[in-house]
Amino acid sequence: MSYTSDAALTAAHAEVKAEISRTDTKVSLLLAFDGAILAGAWSVASGAHLSTAAQVIGAMGVAVLIGAAVVLLRAARPNLGGGPRNPRPAGGFPLWEQMTPGELTDFMETDGRARDIVALSGIAVAKYKHLRRSIDWTLAGGALLLVAGVLAWVGAA
């Protein structure tokens, strides 16, 4: 099989789109996981008489988990491109929306995969950074809730 830049661009374009899709799936799963942990913590805290230490540590864990959910929401937030330095989106439908039909026809006559790959890669990397940060926060919040649970158990014994 011979190498061609056309095949490489097609493969890279598909790969970066797949990475974005995988990240979005992970974000959805982690949001559900964090929500379940928060619901469980609320259920335990509202039905038990906890020591002050368990309440404080538990509240810190809940706050960190809420922070993790906020970071996940930032990862899920659509990136339409553009910004202060470059007010025009890098590519794809956000750019097409700003074009006239004639501009779009002219634009489509050029191979824009390389530009799209660069723009989509930036989106994918940003999503992965948010995802990694939220996992760290989820682990920290879970650890705090675990400590609060041990303190509650020891205090109840």
Is the CB of residue 75 less than 8 Å from the CB of residue 23? yes
Q: For residue 22, count CB atoms less than 10 angstroms from its CB and return exposed for 0-12, middle for 13-18, buried for 19 or more.
A: middle
Mean pLDDT (whole number) for 101-121: 89
Is the CB of residue 127 less than 8 Å from the CB of residue 75? yes
Q: Tell me: the pLDDT tens digits for 20-52?
A: 999 999 999 999 999 999 999 999 888 878 889
Measured CA to CA in angstroms, residue 147 lies from 57, 69, 76, 127 at distances of 7, 20, 30, 30
Amino acid occupying residue 31? L
Distance of CA 13 to the CA centre of its chain: 20
**Gap between the Cα atoms of 50 and 114, Å rounded:** 58
Q: Tell me: the pLDDT tens digits for 54-103?
A: 999 999 999 999 999 999 999 998 877 766 655 667 677 888 888 899 99
Q: What pLDDT does 85 receive?
A: 59
Q: What pLDDT does 157 receive?
A: 58
Of the candidates 15, 149, 137, the residue with the CA atom closest to the CA atom of residue 68: 137
